[in-house]
A and B are shown apart, each in its own frame.
Chain A
Amino acid sequence: MIVFGRRLPGMSSLLLWALLWEIVGQTGWTFFIPPLSEVLVTLFNVIGTPAFQKAMYETAYAFVAGVFFAIVIGVPVGILIGKSRLLDELILPWVNIFLSAPLTALVPVLMVLFGFGMKSIIITTTLFAIWIIILNSRAGVKQINRSLVEMAHSFGASPFDAFFKVYFWAALPEILGGVRIGVIRAVKGVIIGQLLISIVGFGALFELYSNNFMMSHFWAVLIVLFALAFSLSEFFAYLERRVSYYAASR
């Protein structure tokens, strides 16, 4: 952004919104919005407490495990249905249904099936993330240049080599795009899981703070969560840019 001929650093618009938040908070217009400065002070006080660190650990554990399964299952499934017409016909409708389904409504079913513990939370997280990863991996494989496949075949590539040396790399830009969106969805999944299934982790903190009208605590945790999700998404965006040099010329 360029203002009065000066180039402002990225995300400087955030400063403007932060200032607005502070002003609205200072006027005492609503208890719901405490001043940003107060939220930040609370944040630094809260961040060292055992309760917060336990919540952080529980959330991170469920999140990482959920995303791990979403990637490890989602990418191969996406590549396989992209390659096989039959599997595509069988599985694609389900992927599309679950992609647009209100997954929150399924969470009670998961609780019945898998209990009230960490397992259900991880599965919820995976369910939120996996569909877009499958769909993007499939799209990545679908757009592979036919002659790359023929090239690998004509030089005698084994199916294993073709998969890991051609298909995977050719689909990588789309796969990373899918993982990036999947990770953002997984943040939703893990919090919804922690609110609905068992009140643990950040979900428990949100519940606790909002029920007791501890708004500055509430916002502090939200800021931490937002910062984490944003950093992760930016990390995958960075990986995407790393491969973008060939995305346009496949």
Chain B
Amino acid sequence: MSQTNDAFEKSEPVDMDSAVSVRSVSKNYGTVEALRDLSLEFPRGQLTSLLGPSGCGKTTLLKIIAGLLEPTSGEILIEGKKVTGPGADRAFVFQDFALLPWASVIRNVAFGLELRGVAKSEREAIAEKYIKNVGLSGFEKSYPHELSGGMRQRVGLARALSVDSQVLLLDEPFSAVDEQNRRKFQEDMLELVRNENKTFIFVTHSIEEAVYVSDQIAILLPRPSRVSEIIRPTSFRNTDVENIRRSPEYLDIVDQIWASLRNYVE
């Protein structure tokens, strides 16, 4: 009886549009509280940014969602299923790219599929397609050390896309990429979100970047970490990429976020 009640109560708040739900997650490192009772919904098919000052636990939260870290309490639901570890429903893009330096671009892109036991010809055909998608055609046989930072992250992105997970987790993916490449990446992200019908969770410390690419921005504040605000830009999301940065709403949101974060910058 109590079990059915329990299940009923838990199923009730599920928003049908939510691909990922974070339910009162806490994470302690010894006596240090990294996250306290944090809850957040990630709408399906949209890009949600986790934005906050350094030390606010945004990367910790992302790694908990990825199943790389275990929460001290609380739970993560992906399509209603509880996360117990890494799974095929999520793919991760790393801040420092995490490419195998001894493997060619095509093997790196196909590596997720290789680990899942997909046959070589099949996985290379899939990898080929995503290498083309991220604009790296002709570099299949190159090695990571022969590529620029921006190109390396395109490999990391292609690897995450090629396993065709429903949820993409990106940990400050463009912070190690130069400014011009970063802008190109941000434009590509918008297109990707529009075309791929995946749920994106995007960690960043750049206010402009978050506002530029996000359907929903969760502002995290530290000590103890909590979601202080959720912002959903409305007016500029469907305008051309060139006009976003000129939109009054874009500028207002950037200012508003800065106003709430400036007190937390040391």
Contact = CB atoms under 8 A, between A and B. Distances in A.
Interface of A: 145, 147-148, 150-158, 161, 165-166, 169, 172, 243, 245-246, 248-250
A155 B91 contact: yes
A145 B96 contact: yes
B115 A246 contact: no
Main secondary structure of the interface of A (DSSP, over half): helix
A98 to B, nearest CB: 31
Interface string B90-117: 1110111010111000000001101110
A156 B100 contact: no
Given A156-B86, A156-B88, A243-B102, A151 B94 contact: yes
A169 B102 contact: yes
A145 B115 contact: no
A154 B86 contact: yes
B145 A246 contact: yes
19 contacts: A145-B96, A147-B95, A148-B100, A150-B94, A152-B115, A154-B86, A154-B91, A154-B92, A155-B92, A155-B111, A155-B115, A156-B86, A156-B116, A157-B115, A169-B102, A245-B145, A246-B102, A249-B101, A249-B144
B144 A147 contact: no
B138 interface: no
A161 B115 contact: yes
Interface residues of B, number: 26
A167 to B, nearest CB: 12
A248 B86 CA distance: 29
B68 A169 contact: no
Contacts of B98: 145, 147-148, 150-151
Nearest to B108: A151
Given A156-B115, A158-B115, A165-B100, 16 more contacts: A147-B94, A150-B63, A150-B68, A150-B92, A150-B94, A150-B98, A153-B68, A154-B68, A154-B86, A155-B115, A245-B143, A246-B101, A246-B143, A246-B145, A248-B145, A250-B101
B80 interface: no
Contacts of B114: 165
A250 B144 CA distance: 10
A151 B160 CA distance: 10
A155 B86 contact: yes
B163 interface: yes
Nearest to B90: A154
Given A152-B115, A154-B68, A156-B116, A166 B100 contact: yes
Interface in B111-151: 111-112, 114-116, 143-145
Contacts of A172: 102
Nearest to B67: A154
Contacts of A154: 66-68, 86, 90-92
A151 B143 contact: no
A158 B85 CA distance: 13
Contacts of A243: 102
A155 B163 contact: yes
Report the 7 A-B pairs with minimum CB-CB distance, sorted nearest first: A246-B101, A151-B98, A147-B98, A155-B112, A154-B92, A249-B145, A154-B86
A147 B96 contact: yes
B87 interface: yes
Contacts of A158: 115
Contacts of A152: 115
Given A151-B94, A155-B115, A246-B143, A169 B100 contact: yes
B66 to A, nearest CB: 6
Contacts of A145: 96, 98
Contacts of B66: 154
Contact of B87 (A147, A148, A156, A249): A156
Contacts of A245: 143, 145
Contacts of A250: 101
B92 A151 contact: yes
A184 to B, nearest CB: 26
A92 B67 CA distance: 32
Contacts of B91: 154-155
Nearest to B144: A249
Nearest to A157: B115
A34 B123 CA distance: 66
Contacts of A161: 115
A71 B96 CA distance: 33
